[in-house]
Amino acid sequence: MTRTPLISGNWKMNLNHFEAIQTVQKLHYLIPKGVLDNVEVSIHPPFTDIRSVQTLIESEDLDFALGAQHCHFEDSGAFTGEVSPAFLAKLNTQYVICGHSERREVFGETDEMVNAKVLAIMKYAMTPILCCGETLTEREAGKTESKVLGQIDAGLAGVTNEQIAALVIAYEPIWAIGTGKTATADDAQTVCAAIRMQVRKLTDDATADAVRIQYGGSVKGGNAPELMSQPDIDGALVGGASLDPDEFSRIIQFNG
C-alpha cells in the first residue's frame, strides 16, 4: 500500500511570529515545484505564531499543513496556560503533536493524558501525531519494544479502527533527540515495523497498512534518504533541523 510521506517540522519553543513568517517563506522558495505532489509537509510553530503562519499559508496558497505542538484534552475551563483543541480547530490546524517525549519527560504527561488528547484532537477533526519512544537506559536494558508498544496500546485506547488508520504515529527514541545521535536506519525500521505489527494486532490488516509512522530523532538532510527508504517509515518528525529552511528543504526532498 502506498502511504504519502509526512515530514513535520516541530519548532518547539523557537522563532517569534516574525521569524516564523520569514522561515516559512524561505522554505517555500527553496522547495522545487512538484516536490510537494509526493510528500506532505506540516509546520508546528509555537502557539504565538500559529495565527501568523495560518494567515501566510492561506493568503499565499502555500502547500503546507498547519500544525500545533500540544493541546489540552478539555474544550475549556480553568487550565491556565493551556490551549483548547477547539481553539486550534478554529485556526484550521490540521495536525497536533501529542505525547512528545519532552511533554512526557519534562511536564509529566502520562499515557492516560496522551490518550485523552488523541481523542480530543480527533473530536475536532484534526489529526494526532502520537509520539512514542524509549530512553537510553530502557534501550540498553532491552526494553525498547515493551516501552514503545505499551505507549501505543495506551495511546490508542478507545480509538476506532477508522480513526487509527487516519492518524500518525511518530517513533522518537528519546536518546536521539537533540543529541546528534540517530538510530540506524535498520534499528529505526525494526521499531517502526514492531509498531505497525502492534497496530495490526489491535485492529486489522487494512488499518495497519494505512497508518503512517514517522521517525524522529536528529533527522538531517544526509540521513533522511536512508531512513525514508525503509518500508515502515512513512515520514519524519524533525526538530532542530526544521528551523533551518535550507536543511529542512533537503529533508523534504529526500527522494530527489
Among residues 40, 109, 134, 172, the one annotated as catalytic is 172
H and E: helices and strands count for the chain: 12, 8
C-alpha cell at 35: 516536490
Tell me the C-alpha distance between 250 and 176, whole Å.
20
Q: Which residues pair with 238 in a beta bridge?
A: 9
Using the structure block, give the residue that is written with the C-alpha cell 517509515. Answer: 233
* DSSP assigned state of 11: -
Q: Which of 225, 244, 234, 239 is nearest to 181 (CA)?
A: 239
Tell me the C-alpha distance between 169 and 198, whole Å.
12
Q: What is the CA radius of gyration of the chain?
A: 17
Q: Is 44 a catalytic residue?
A: no
* Residues with Cβ within 8 Å of residue 200, at least 6 apart in sequence: 207, 208
CB count within 10 Å of CB 113 equals 18
C-alpha cell at 31: 522547495
Among residues 100, 109, 134, 247, the one annotated as catalytic is 100
Q: Is 100 a catalytic residue?
A: yes
Residues labelled catalytic:
100, 172
